[in-house]
């Protein structure tokens, strides 16, 4: 009987909508130059992804940054303390499952009213044994002339109270708190995955900027050599002053790109420094040494669709919130039922402090108390309606989160594949523009074309180089976005960091398998067993 039963709906894990394969229906294939479907160099596979997915790039510097962000990022550290708060709240909620005990010691100098004392004296006078007791006779020297008693009262006791959870109110409350703690933990994991993906994207952008800077500096040297060539040809009467100035304009335009790229480079270093919880330019020494953009591997393991729900922290968080909302419905239902509480106390009471420790000064009490809500002005019914509506909202949020996750994955897969196709086209464009530039320069030296042909070829080649480099970084960045959409690595990748100090460190919501879950049906209460 003391175990009772839990009223209200029981939580059942919903079945998320899951497609048969990644990428949805087959898209119209992009064809190559020979009319056959174009193939990309890096293909996804159903193998389990590496827990530390960033190691797929084989870049030691990136790996080091990812390890640092898991411990040094300020948002990650902040969420560690938020997790500590959530666990403390869970402990508070769990305390109601056990008896509450307290020790009390008190002293009072007390005075009864005259009316009360007269009643006591009357009772004393009617009892011969008490009438002859000196303790009472001092207050009544004569009938009807009672003195107001003034005395000390000493008391110490141990008191206990325990609610017998017949209807599961306390259990539902603890169930909701445990689910909310899980939701907070998933939010922490989601924050960590987001920051790790942000580090990888910023790192790709940094390497792209360094490569762009290298390209511009190479083109600066080419533009300078062409300016010198035109000045020499002008001195020999083989070139006009307009051609010299055109070469100078090209040279200055190339120089003008350098400060902008250097500014962008500093901003990217600072962005990574902030993610590491460091001051501006703290990572300059280790990051400003130029390095190639990390290439993508030929095979990219992405797992199978059925495992997505347990890999994406936002889906697990939405599920935990739905669990908490369902438990809170049961808690609201239990408020309609009586609360049964057992109260007990044992201690000593005496009019003198020196008598307080004697056994005959003991006093105790034990007994139940029952609280039954009779009229609450509609508060309990309104609270139940509130919890039911919150449960339905949480179910819809879960559906939206699942669908949003699949949209993210589909978009990321499409972007990853299509950018590789674009990269192939840009590679051919760069090769063709480089060959065209060589031809234009050679023909200009032999006086076959004007310098405008050289300038146009230089601009096309510089643009082709820049676009190809950006595409290379975009492919790597799209792979990062894909892993972020897949939920990063497995759960064991993200152990919960301990908070540390560092100086500035029942009824089931209705779901339908294979289709987006519908709005949950109204929760039904289980009556007391």
Contact 505, 78 (CB under 8 A): no
Per-residue pLDDT reduced to its tens digit, 357-374: 788 888 899 999 999 999
φ and ψ at residue 80, rounded to 5 degrees: -65, -40
How confident is the model over 440-449, as a mean pLDDT? 89
pLDDT value at position 154? 87
User: In the chain, how long is the greatest CA-to-CA distance?
Assistant: 146
What's the chain's length in residues?
A: 529
Distance CA 341, CA 330 (A): 20
pLDDT of residue 204: 97
pLDDT confidence of residue 526: 40
User: What's the mean per-residue pLDDT of the chain?
Assistant: 84
What whole-number distance in Å separates Cα of residue 150 and Cα of residue 108? 11
Cα separation of 399 and 246, whole Å?
A: 61
Please indicate whether residue 244 or residue 142 has the higher confidence score (pLDDT). 244
User: Residues 251-256: contacts with CB within 8 Å, 24+ apart?
Assistant: 251/220, 251/223, 251/224, 251/226, 251/227, 254/216, 254/219, 254/220, 254/223, 254/462, 255/220
For 146-186, write each residue's pLDDT tens digit: 556 677 888 899 999 999 989 999 999 999 999 999 999 99
- Rounded to whole angstroms, the Cα distance separating 469 from 211 reads 7
For the segment 282-339, what is each residue's pLDDT rounded down to a tens digit? 999 999 999 999 999 999 888 888 888 788 999 999 999 999 999 999 999 999 999 9
* pLDDT over threshold 70, residue 137: no
The answer on pLDDT for 512 being more than 80 is no
List all residues 6 or more positions away from 471 whose beta carbon is below 8 Å from its beta carbon: 419, 422, 423, 426
* pLDDT higher than 80, residue 237: yes
Above 80 in pLDDT, residue 139? no
pLDDT at 494: 46
Mean of the pLDDT values across residues 196-216? 96
pLDDT recorded at residue 328? 96
Name the pairing type of β-strands 299-301 and 339-350. unpaired
143 pLDDT above the threshold of 70: no
103 bridge partner residues: 158
pLDDT at 303: 85
Residue 233: the pLDDT is 87
* Count of other CB atoms within 10 angstroms of residue 77: 18
In the sheet that holds 362-371, the strands lie side by side as 100-111, 150-164, 339-350, 362-371
Q: Which two tokens stand for residue 312?
A: 């994406």
Enumerate the H helices of 73-168 as residue ranges: 74-95, 114-126, 128-131, 134-137
- The gap from C-alpha 488 to its chain's centroid, in whole angstroms, comes to 13
pLDDT band of residue 38 (cuts 50, 70, 90) is: low
Spell out the domain ranges in the chain. Answer: 113-148
């Amino acid at each position: 009987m003391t175990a009772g039963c839990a009223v209200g709906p029981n939580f059942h894990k919903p079945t998320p909508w899951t497609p048969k394969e990644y990428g949805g229906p087959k898209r119209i294939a992009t064809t190559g130059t020979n009319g056959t479907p174009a193939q990309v160099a890096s293909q996804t596979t159903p193998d389990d992804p590496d827990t530390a997915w960033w190691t797929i790039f084989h870049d030691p510097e990136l790996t080091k940054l990812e390890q640092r962000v898991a411990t040094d990022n300020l948002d990650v550290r902040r969420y560690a303390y938020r997790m500590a708060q959530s666990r403390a709240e869970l402990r508070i909620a769990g305390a109601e499952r056990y008896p509450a005990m307290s020790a009390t010691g008190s002293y009072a100098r007390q005075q009864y009213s005259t009316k009360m004392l007269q009643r006591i004296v009357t009772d004393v006078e009617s009892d011969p044994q008490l009438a002859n007791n000196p303790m009472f006779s001092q207050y009544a020297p004569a009938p009807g002339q009672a003195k107001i008693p003034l005395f000390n009262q000493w008391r110490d006791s141990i008191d206990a109270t325990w609610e017998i959870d017949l209807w599961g109110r306390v259990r539902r409350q603890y169930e909701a708190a445990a689910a909310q703690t899980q939701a907070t933990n998933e939010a922490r994991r989601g924050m960590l995955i987001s920051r790790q993906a942000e580090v990888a994207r910023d790192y790709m952008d940094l390497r792209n900027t360094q490569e762009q800077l290298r390209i511009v500096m190479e083109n600066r040297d080419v533009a300078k050599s062409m300016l010198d060539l035109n000045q020499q040809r002008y001195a020999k009467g083989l070139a006009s002053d307009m051609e010299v100035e055109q070469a100078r304009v090209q040279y200055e335009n190339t120089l003008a790109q350098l400060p902008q790229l250097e500014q962008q480079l500093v901003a990217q270093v600072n962005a990574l420094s902030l993610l590491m919880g460091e001051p501006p330019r703290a990572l300059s020494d280790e990051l400003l040494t130029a390095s190639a953009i990390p290439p993508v591997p030929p095979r990219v393991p992405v797992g199978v669709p059925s495992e997505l729900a347990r890999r994406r922290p936002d889906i697990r968080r939405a599920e935990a919130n739905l669990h908490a909302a369902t438990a809170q419905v049961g808690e609201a239902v239990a408020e309609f039922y009586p609360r049964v509480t057992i109260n007990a106390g044992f201690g000593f009471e005496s009019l003198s402090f020196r008598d307080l420790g004697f056994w005959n000064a003991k006093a105790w009490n034990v007994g139940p108390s029952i609280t039954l809500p009779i009229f609450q002005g509609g508060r309990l019914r309104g609270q139940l309606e509130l919890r039911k509506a919150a449960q339905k909202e949480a179910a819809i949020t879960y559906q939206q989160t699942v669908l949003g996750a699949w949209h993210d994955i589909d978009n990321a897969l499409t972007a990853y594949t299509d950018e590789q196709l674009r990269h192939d086209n840009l590679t051919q464009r760069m090769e063709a523009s480089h060959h065209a530039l060589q031809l234009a320069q050679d023909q200009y030296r032999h006086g076959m074309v004007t310098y405008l042909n050289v300038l146009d070829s230089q601009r096309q080649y510089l643009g082709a180089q820049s676009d190809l480099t950006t595409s290379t970084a975009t492919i790597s960045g799209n792979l990062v976005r894909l892993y972020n959409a897949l939920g990063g690595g497995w759960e064991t990748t993200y152990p919960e960091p301990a908070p540390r100090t560092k100086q500035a460190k029942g009824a089931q919501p209705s779901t339908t398998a294979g289709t987006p879950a519908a709005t949950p049906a109204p929760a039904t209460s289980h009556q007391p067993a």
